Amino acid sequence: MSYIATPSRTRHILEKYDLRLTKRWGQNFLIDPRMAEKIARASCFEGEGIIEIGPGIGSLTEFLVNRAGYVVAVEIDPRLVTVLKEEFKGVNNLKVLNGDVLKQDLDSLAKDCFPSGLAAVKYSAVGNLPYYVTTPIMFHLFEKTTLLRSATLMMQREVAERIMAAPGTRDYGALSVTTRYYADARLLTRVSSKNFFPQPDIESVVVHFNVHEKPPVDTADVGLFFEVVRAAFNQRRKTLLNCLSNSVAGLNKDAARDILLRAGIDPGIRGEALDLEGFAAAANSAAEYLEEAGVETSRAGEGELK
């Protein structure tokens, strides 16, 4: 029998189960087994526990179960859950669950589903993400887990370019800074639209994220840090001074200028010129200023980008 990640086997499965694909769930299945194997190899260590997001009909799952110690596959479409359970009947290192990954406590899922030897250690995640939920899923992984070691995610090329953009470039923005706070990202490979069925209208890439054990910068107030980042890019053509004024903790322009100067930052630059360390310096300066002014901040803060 051929791999699932081939045009003929994919069509066979769709016909066998009389499946009509749903656009709202971004159902485009990988039909290149070499690409599927490459992603599986990059996504986890041999014998590691892995959570697969949106396995579809199992194009990638087939390679993951041969490499990982245990795979928990979370699929939102109940029809595809039926397919997966049938096609992988007898595979003893796979558990298929029906659900929305954004509503899952992934650390608990790992502890509950992985065998005892894997349940208390770091795990990895992998998924082919629909473009409209890419960033929510990314930050659900980064913000809501403590045991995640890495994530290997297929996504729209334009999103990946924003994630990995360097300071001072057109694509650099809040998504770039926030991702760097949580993980190191690297481009694994580009994936032609011809490698999917049905063929999507977008270009895809695979990005591998190594999740930081702890953030690479110290922040006195995490929520304030993300508030500064978001404010800096809300109006890209404005100076950092103008972006922060009245947008962060109600600061007026004089206060914002004082905060930036204390941090050694030119108030006249734009947010796109600051790197992660610069944003941390600005946020820590703001936290110090607000503390001196007796202003309490209660931002437990997450970097989630809507």
Here the CATH number for the domain that contains residue 118 is: 3.40.50.150
Question: Do residue 280 and residue 229 come from a single domain?
Answer: yes
Percent of the chain scoring above 70 in pLDDT: 96
Residue 295 pLDDT grade (very low, low, confident, very high; cuts 50, 70, 90) = confident
Question: Do residue 240 and residue 129 come from a single domain?
Answer: no
Q: How far is CA 145 from CA 47, 162, 221, 286, in A?
A: 20, 23, 19, 28
Residue 212 pLDDT greater than 80, yes or no = yes
Question: Do residue 191 and residue 261 come from a single domain?
Answer: no
Give 54-64 pLDDT, tens digit per residue. 999 999 999 99
Which of 211, 235, 261 is the endpoint of a domain?
Answer: 211
pLDDT at 167: 97
Residue 26 pLDDT grade (very low, low, confident, very high; cuts 50, 70, 90) = confident
Q: What angle do CA 171, 173, 176 make, to 5 degrees?
A: 90
The rounded distance, in Å, linking the Cα atoms of 97 and 52 is 10
Residue 197 pLDDT greater than 90, yes or no = yes
Residue 249 pLDDT grade (very low, low, confident, very high; cuts 50, 70, 90) = confident
* Cβ contact 148:125 at 8 Å: yes
Number of domains in the chain: 2
Which of 161, 176, 211 is the endpoint of a domain?
Answer: 211
Long-range own/partner contacts, residues 234-238 (CB < 8 A, 24 or more apart): 236/173, 236/270, 236/271, 236/272, 237/270, 238/270
Considering only CA atoms, which of 41, 85, 79, 80 is closest in space to residue 60? 41
Considering only CA atoms, which of 40, 80, 82, 90 is closest in space to residue 60? 40
Exposure string of 123-139, with b = 16+ CB inside 10 Å and e = fewer, is bbbbbbbbeebbbebbb
Question: Do residue 160 and residue 21 come from a single domain?
Answer: yes
Residue 258 domain-assigned (yes or no) = yes
CB neighbours of residue 103 within 10 Å: 9
Question: Do residue 18 and residue 79 come from a single domain?
Answer: yes
Residue 168 domain-assigned (yes or no) = yes
Least confident of 94-108, 175-189, 289-303: 289-303
What pTM does this model have?
Answer: 0.92
Residue 158 domain-assigned (yes or no) = yes
Question: Do residue 244 and residue 285 come from a single domain?
Answer: yes
Residue 306 domain-assigned (yes or no) = no
Q: Where are the alpha helices (DSSP H) in the chain?
A: 7-16, 33-43, 61-64, 78-87, 106-113, 116-119, 134-143, 157-164, 174-182, 222-234, 240-244, 253-262, 276-292
Question: Do residue 127 and residue 254 come from a single domain?
Answer: no
Question: Do residue 102 and residue 234 come from a single domain?
Answer: no
Residue 301 pLDDT greater than 50, yes or no = no
Q: Where are the alpha helices (DSSP H) in 94-149?
A: 106-113, 116-119, 134-143
Containing structural domain, residue 174: 7-211
Residue 301 domain-assigned (yes or no) = no
Residue 303 domain-assigned (yes or no) = no
The rounded distance, in Å, linking the Cα atoms of 50 and 73 is 8
Residue 109 pLDDT greater than 60, yes or no = yes
Mean pLDDT of the chain: 93
pLDDT at 120: 75
Percent of the chain scoring above 90 in pLDDT: 83
Give 116-158 pLDDT, tens digit per residue. 889 778 999 999 998 889 999 999 999 999 999 999 999 999 9
Residue 306 pLDDT grade (very low, low, confident, very high; cuts 50, 70, 90) = very low
Residue 302 domain-assigned (yes or no) = no
Question: Do residue 227 and residue 177 come from a single domain?
Answer: no
Residue 199 or residue 119, greater confidence: 199
Across 110-119, 128-137, 162-171, the highest mean pLDDT is recorded for 162-171
